[in-house]
Amino acid sequence: MDQAEAQKRAQKLRDLLDKYGYHYYVMDDPIVPDSEYDEKLQELVKLEQDFEELQTSDSPTQRIGGAPLDAFVKVQHEIPMMSLGNAFHDQDLRDFDRRVRQGLSESIDYVCELKIDGLAVSLTYENGRFVRGATRGDGTTGEDITSNLKTVGSIPLRLNEPVNLEVRGEVFMPKRSFERLNEQKEKAGESVFANPRNAAAGSLRQLDPKIAANRNLDIFLYAIGNDYEMKTQTHYEAIQYMKRLGFKTNPESKHCEDIEAVIEFVNSWVERRDELNYEIDGIVVKVNHLEQQEQLGFTAKSPRWAIAYKFPAEEKITTLEGIMLSVGRTGAVTPTAKLKPVQVAGTVVQRASLHNEDLIREKDIKIGDQVVIKKAGDIIPEVVRVLEELRDGSEEQFDMPSTCPACESELVHLEEEVALRCINPQCPAQIQEELIHFVSRNAMNIDGLGEKVIQQLFTHQLVSGIADLYKLEKDELLKLERMGEKSVQNLLSAIEVSKANSLEKLVFGLGIRFVGAKAARTLAEHFETMESLRRASRDDLLAIYEIGDKMADAIVRYFELPEANALLDELKELGLNMTYKGPKKQEAVSDTALSDKTVVLTGTLERVTRNEAKELIESLGGKVTGSVSKNTDVLVAGADAGSKLTKAEQLGIEIWDEDQFLDKTAT
């Protein structure tokens, strides 16, 4: 066979295998026996071996699994993969609907989707070919797992149209595959996976793609992250469009006309979830119209146009054997129940948070009680109630101490707080928790500085605060238990590398109250330098769309502390980067109607979308914020503008309607 014949035969085999694979993995309706598929696949493998130039990235042979990787490469998501707010009751869904209606003055419909309990991923296609797949990670940065995702048969390597787009989905392990995998691991004397979600995540994070190829993973695609040639106006249309392109979508998704139809759909699945061949832990509810999603926008953590209803958690009975106390990095003293180990929702539970003394009193919890426990949101163990009828008189009352269990300082109740708090800035427990937070993945991400190593460093008086981490010396570290030459060198290298982190990592690592990783990035991107952030006023902070009153107050209070400023000065002296290194906002354009102007958009715009208006403002040197303040220069008011318009009028801020806005920004 010459090359021309080989190329023709290879293309025919690829087309056949794509067709067979689509019917097998996506439609769950095989049209040929497995032996026929395997025979054609092996013929294609041999052709590509004999004629290496015939091999393509979208060939079905790429599903077998390539060579092992040395490590996963980090991937920046063009559009963040945000988490969702939670609902646990029908009223929570009605409250969500009320908030949506407050943000929109028009009719609203929803789409409901089963919430697959798996691993969220992003898939990128160029000219219809699969080029990259990544984990969600922290929502902004994930890991490139393209090689492993190619082994998932239901992920198309080539779409039915040559489009450029990015889609999001959930990789999962079917229940039958999970049971078979654990049987194999038991026979091999290996630890089994606690649940299918952990098994799926563990499979996709194997450096050897051949392991993932043998795990029989599956996927449902649920959203278009970025369609560069936007062809849909609603989320439900987007699902149908994805199906036409060849993606596997969940057949149980439903279009609902109103929130009552949503609640009916949700309740219908509470009892039916066990009928499925895959795990679900709730229902995702989304506003259907994409333009309405744009208008509603996002908070710092999640979209305002979607919510996840979480199913009622599995409950189990066990014995509460004791109550332990821990001191957090903010000084809050938290009681934790020590439980007789019990299996709940796929994992063994031995501890559950009791939150505070008021909860212990409210639920009348005593040491020795038989208690009902569950995992809130199927994740966090909690004590639901005490079985008082099973008491025999041996149970013991628990009283919170008056002094800190770590430093013996007097505990206090701060204004409007339920928790007891240690306010000693030298409390060893708080310092250790601050250090653990500072080196964590979403903060400075220092490999090798786990909780146990931090405790060692603190116990041996090698660190007493954050700055001391950057003063550690090799000879001191070599004296510690389980710290050899190589591990010490790796640790010191990781500490040195962390000095170059972008500003948002440091801001989050400082542990400012209410400032999470997403808010830290927003602050760093906005102010660009630590010095600018330190000087920011409350109004400066509130002018940022994602920053609310509590967070702004906490940031201002933090930078008023002499010890906080002394720490930042010392870290700068030690060589830590104090500037934002992420993607920069577009440079301001001079001499336009919006140069250096702060603009707020409100109401419904009819001729442009909210995103188009925002992009136009930024392209002309302005910036868009979410709330009206004395720093606002212009309010653009569309139809049915509400409280923002009223406030702008009270402050004497310049107000444009949509026509004025488009006239003034015309180029």
Active site residues: 115
Q: Rounded CA gap, 145 and 346, in Å?
A: 26
3-state secondary structure 70-99: CCCCEEECCCCCCCCEEECCHHHHHHHHHH
CB environment 406-427: b (16+ within 10 A), e (fewer): beeeebeeeeeeebbbbebeeb
Q: Count the alpha carbons within 13 Å of 522 in the hemisphere toward its beta carbon.
A: 21
Contact 495, 477 (CB under 8 A): no
Q: How many helices (H) and strands (E) does the chain have?
A: 24, 22
For residue 343, list its beta bridge partners: 348
Q: Where are the alpha helices (DSSP H) in 165-208?
A: 175-187, 196-204
Q: Rounded CA gap, 649 and 655, in Å?
A: 8
Residue tagged 């979600």 (tokens): 197
DSSP 111-125: EEEEEE-SEEEEEEE
3-state secondary structure 412-470: EECCCCCCEEECCCCCHHHHHHHHHHHCCCCCCCCCCCCHHHHHHHHHCCCCCCHHHHH
Q: Rounded CA gap, 523 and 389, in Å?
A: 53
Q: CA nearest 377: which of 318, 309, 317, 316?
A: 309
Query: Which helix (DSSP H) or strand (DSSP E) does residue 171 occupy?
Result: strand 165-172
Tokens of 298: 């996002």
User: Phi/psi of residue 148, each to 5°?
Assistant: -70, -40
Q: CA nearest 245: which of 123, 118, 148, 136?
A: 123
Tokens of 299: 């908070």
Tokens of 448: 């090798």
Residues 6+ apart with CB under 8 A from 358: 418
Give the CA angle between residues 276, 280, 284 to the nearest 5°.
Answer: 125
> Residue 377 carries which side chain, given as an amino acid letter?
G
Query: Which helix (DSSP H) or strand (DSSP E) does residue 263 occupy?
Result: helix 259-270
Query: Which helix (DSSP H) or strand (DSSP E) does residue 336 occupy?
Result: strand 333-344
Q: Rounded CA gap, 536 and 223, in Å?
A: 38
Dihedral angle sign, alpha carbons of residues 446, 447, 451, 452 = negative
DSSP 337-371: EEEEEEEETTEEEEEEE--SHHHHHHTT--BT-EE
Q: Rounded CA gap, 578 and 530, in Å?
A: 5
Tokens of 365: 């919890």
Dihedral angle sign, alpha carbons of residues 194, 198, 200, 203 = negative
Helix, strand, coil percent values for the chain (each to nearest 5): 40, 20, 40
